[in-house]
Amino acid sequence: MTLPLPDTQLLLDHLLVFVTALGINLMIAGDAVRSYIPRALNPLGWMIRGVAWVERKLNRAKRSPRARFVRGALMAFGLLAMGILCGWGLSQATRIARGMHEYGWIAEALLVSLFIPVRQVNDALTEVVEDYTRVSLAELRAALGMAYPHDTKHLDSHTLFRAGIELSVQTISERLVGLALWYIALGFPGLCAVVVLGAVNAQIGYADERFRDFGDTVRRLHFLAQIVPSLISSLVLAVAAFLAPGSAPLAGVQALFLFIRAPLQLPYAVMAGATSVSLLGPKTMGDTVVAQDWVGTDTVKATATHLRIALGVFRIAAALCLCALIYIATVAK
């Protein structure tokens, strides 16, 4: 008995579409796209708010750990199924578009580009870095909030800059490398599934007392989906750290060995070493504080200088990813 091999032509087709989508995102996304797609219409925003509402209803402290685990598992698999179903619908729609016109694949690339937030994150972080001396803290929070998945109203200046650094890491690891791998392998169903898992994990995937049982399933699914992208993005960020001005690349490389047993923390460890700032740590989620371990041993009081270094690493890492994808597509073709 032999295992079925993947359709190499389909994989190459997905690769070329993703490269085009990333190019579209880098060239015309940002403020241009946001002006046509209001944030209020962002389906991810709806889902994040919906997950927070459902979590408050299902994850009550009075329930037993088993009951909270079962409810969290049902929610995780339900949302995952919805993501796969939406992805299947998009794949069928783009297949029809391809059949109607020889350039129908461009419509697919445009759709994929909407899932890639690289330009949006770059614009938000650039605005924070360039305007921090001229505008109020509230305006900086609003600028970061255009790309940050959580509420920014409670962030002080140090936490805001640290959140920006963490956002740059998450974007490279989950929303660039992760999306590329899953879209190339499985098309729209894989892309939508990993986007849903990332959004849900960002809300309930913590190991503190409140989310330990309820978020257990989504933590495991997210780990399986992101372990390979995390390892790849860690290497990309380590290389980018050597090229970014002001960074500490050797500390970033050292982090690869220190956090090898926690693969999903590896990209954050590399960036923490490169910027000399400890990342992750406790987070405010609504009216509660979620406990997390710190990644790194340096200061937790991030400044605009630290964010500027991270932004340089982020830009170079994104460029390296684009160049690698173009090279692979050229060789494979």
The whole-number pLDDT of residue 203 equals 80
Is 169 contained in some domain? yes
Is 3 contained in some domain? no
> pLDDT digits over 52-61, tens only?
777 777 778 7
The whole-number pLDDT of residue 232 equals 92
The whole-number pLDDT of residue 29 equals 54
Q: How many domains does the chain have?
A: 1
Give the domain extent around 150.
8-332
Pairing of strands 288-290, 283-285: antiparallel
Is 268 contained in some domain? yes
How does 189-198 read in b/e, with b if 16+ C-beta sit within 10 Å? bbbbbbbbbb
Contact at 8 Å (CB) between 60 and 176?
Answer: no
Task: Please tell me the number of Cα atoms within 13 Å of 191 on its side-chain side.
Answer: 27
The whole-number pLDDT of residue 2 equals 46
The whole-number pLDDT of residue 41 equals 47
pLDDT along the chain (333 residues), means of 10: 58 87 77 49 62 76 84 88 90 81 79 86 86 80 78 80 89 91 91 88 78 85 91 92 86 73 84 87 68 76 88 92 88 73
Contact at 8 Å (CB) between 158 and 303?
Answer: yes
Is 1 contained in some domain? no
Q: How far apart are CA 183 and CA 194, in angstroms?
A: 9
The whole-number pLDDT of residue 45 equals 61
Is 261 contained in some domain? yes
Contact at 8 Å (CB) between 325 and 18?
Answer: yes
Is 2 contained in some domain? no
Is 262 contained in some domain? yes
The whole-number pLDDT of residue 315 equals 92
Q: How far apart are CA 254 and CA 248, in angstroms?
A: 10
Query: Among 270, 265, 258, 259, which residue's Cα sits nearest to residue 280?
Result: 265
Q: How far apart are CA 154 and CA 58, in angstroms?
A: 25
Q: How many CB atoms lie within 10 A of CB 208?
A: 15
> pLDDT digits over 58-92, tens only?
778 788 888 888 888 898 898 899 889 998 998 88
The whole-number pLDDT of residue 30 equals 45
Is 253 contained in some domain? yes
> pLDDT digits over 103-135, tens only?
777 888 888 888 888 888 888 888 888 887 887
User: Token match 């999306």: residue?
Assistant: 179
- Write the CB contacts of 213 (distance below 8 Å, at least 6 apart in sequence): 65, 66, 68, 69, 72
The whole-number pLDDT of residue 262 equals 78
